[in-house]
Structure formats: C-alpha cells, structure tokens
Amino acid sequence: MKNFKNKVAVITGAGSGMGRELAYQLADRGALIAINDWNESTLLDTADTVKKMGAKVLARHFDVSDRSAVEDFANEVVDHFGQVDIVINNAGYTLPAKSIEYTSYEDFEKLMGVNMWGVIYGSKAFLPHLKRRPEAVLMNTSSVFGLFGYPTQGPYCTAKFAVRGFTETLRLELEVEGTTHVKVCCIHPGGIKTGIVENIDFSKSTLTKEEIEETSKTFEELAPTTAAQAATQIITAIENQSPKLLIGKDAKWMDIITRLFPTKYHKFLLKGIAENKETLAKAFKKDPVEVLQD
C-alpha cells in the first residue's frame, strides 16, 4: 500500500505514544482516521489535533478487552466511513515489576484482556471488512518481549508471545486460503518513549515514590526510539508489505541473540538484571542478597 489518500485507518491506543503519532502521520498522508483509547481525555486531544490537520476522524472511548465494544466499533467505523483499509491493534499496557508467583490472577487476567484479547478481538472484528477491500493491512503490536522471556514481566511476555503466535498464524492462514490482498504484520517494538511507565498502576506496588520516578526516568533514558520514529517505521512497513517489523536497534539485536542462542540468551539478560538487585528483590519478595544466588 503506497497511497494513503482517503484510506480508512483504525488505530487502538491512540491517546498517547505510538498510537497518537500514527494518527498524526497517517492523517498527514491523507488517511481518514478512526481511533480508540481507554483514556477519554487524551483520546479527545489526539482527535482535536487530527481535526486541526484537516483530516476526518472518528474517536471512541472504550476498553479493547470488551469484545462487544470492539465489535460495535468495527461496525460503526464501516457505517461512518463505508470501508476499512488499515487496522493497527496497538493498545496495551504493562504492570509493575513482579514475579509470576506473586502476580495476582486479577492483574494477570486484566493485562491479558487488553494486550492479548484486545488484539484478537480487533483482528477478528475488522478482518471481514478488510477482506472486502482490494488491498488492506492488519498490524498487530507484540513487543521485544514477544521474542524472549524476561523476569518480573511474566504477564506482559505471555501476552506478547501470544500476539506473535496469533498474528503469524493468521498471516499464514490468509496465504493458504488465497487472501493475498490482506497483508498481516507483527510489530516488535524495543524501548519506545511512549509514556508506558507513567500509565502503570503502582497502587499495589511496594516501590516508593522515588523508586517509581527513578524507574520512569531510567526507562526513558534506555528507550532509544521516539514514538514518532516508531510510527514512521510502522508506516514504512505498511508500504513495504512487511510481515515482521523490529523497531529499534535493541529489538533487532535481541532478535539476533535469541535466534542464535535460543537456550542461552538468558545469561546475557541476567547480567543487566543483576545490577538492580533491590528492585528485583521486591518483585520476588526477597532480601537483595538472596536474589540470583539461590
């Protein structure tokens, strides 16, 4: 897909970060924009900017873990614009660092609802409409954490691995049935300056205010790619019909490491993890001196 003029682009999680930047950049290329976010205020901010750019926009506030809401949104987009050409299932969030053992079922299920089921609902709700177009694109956002396991991010890794498997399987199924005009891509962002840490619910965390602020600061410093740069790469992937997109040098590097050393890459990860024993110890509810020494 080279021309975005009057193409209808659906973007979930467009209240901030990559989703917001995708809405701006696709609008700038002449697309008609349909956006969603759980945060109504930030969603409307994105919509207002898109309108000021001269683009048509439909904005709806709901949680993508609600299947009925997603299906209603798909129908409304088609009723409003008459078609759907691009769907980017981007909505997602993460939890405070905590081991799987001490992560509650409630937190696990809530995250899976947004990060995994939200992608599945979005894909299945919009797929019939995408198949009616002469060319169409479905982009699902996994993560660099969909390439390897990472201690204290069990729910997030679980969801992102699931998104990867779901998306790659769907792509192959469409090829088998001969639906070659619908291109499917799995996106694996590395560290992106999106504000994802600010959206973490730390209310149940044992981290102090200072530790939370330091976590946010550290993430921003380590994130090598801006949301705008990530959005540009996603649009390029749409143009190039890429089946897989690694965003950032960190994602590309870890993809190589995990493929070359599938059973030993953890040694590389643990070296970096060991540098932050106090935060890690809280995630495992242990004394710092016990961490990585059992």
Residue with more model confidence, 244 or 213: 244
Total domains present in the chain: 1
**What is the CA 201 to chain-centroid distance, rounded?**
17
| More confident position, 10 or 280 | 10
pTM, to two decimals = 0.85
Q: Is 199 exposed, middle or buried (0-12, 13-18, 19+ CB in 10 A)?
A: middle
- The angle at the Cα of 242, spanning 238 to 246, to the nearest 5 degrees, equals 100
- Choosing from 24, 121, 156, 265, which is the catalytic residue? 156
- Whether 150 is catalytic is no
Q: Answer whether residue 65 is part of any domain.
A: yes
Q: Is 292 among the domain residues?
A: no
CB 86 within 8 A of CB 126: no
Let me know if residue 140 belongs to a domain: yes
Q: Is residue 104 part of a domain?
A: yes
- Give the helix ranges, DSSP H, for 29-96: 40-52, 67-81
What percentage of the chain carries pLDDT values higher than 90? Answer: 71
CATH code at position 116: 3.40.50.720
Residue 293 within a domain: no
Mean pLDDT computed over every residue of the chain: 88
> Which residue range is the domain that position 250 belongs to?
8-260
Assigned domain for 267 exists: no
Q: Summarize pLDDT for 70-79 with one digit per residue, the tens.
A: 999 999 999 9
Task: Determine, yes or no, domain membership for 253.
Answer: yes
Report yes or no on 227 lying in a domain: yes
Question: For the CA atoms of the chain, what is the radius of gyration?
Answer: 19
106-138 pLDDT per residue, tens: 999 999 999 999 999 999 999 999 999 999 999
CA distance 283 to 9: 39
Is the pLDDT at 288 greater than 80? The verdict is no
CB 105 within 8 A of CB 57: no
Closest CA to 65 of 19, 114, 105, 2: 114
223: DSSP letter: -
Q: CA of 17: how far to CAs of 8, 92, 138, 154, 185, in Å?
A: 20, 11, 19, 23, 19
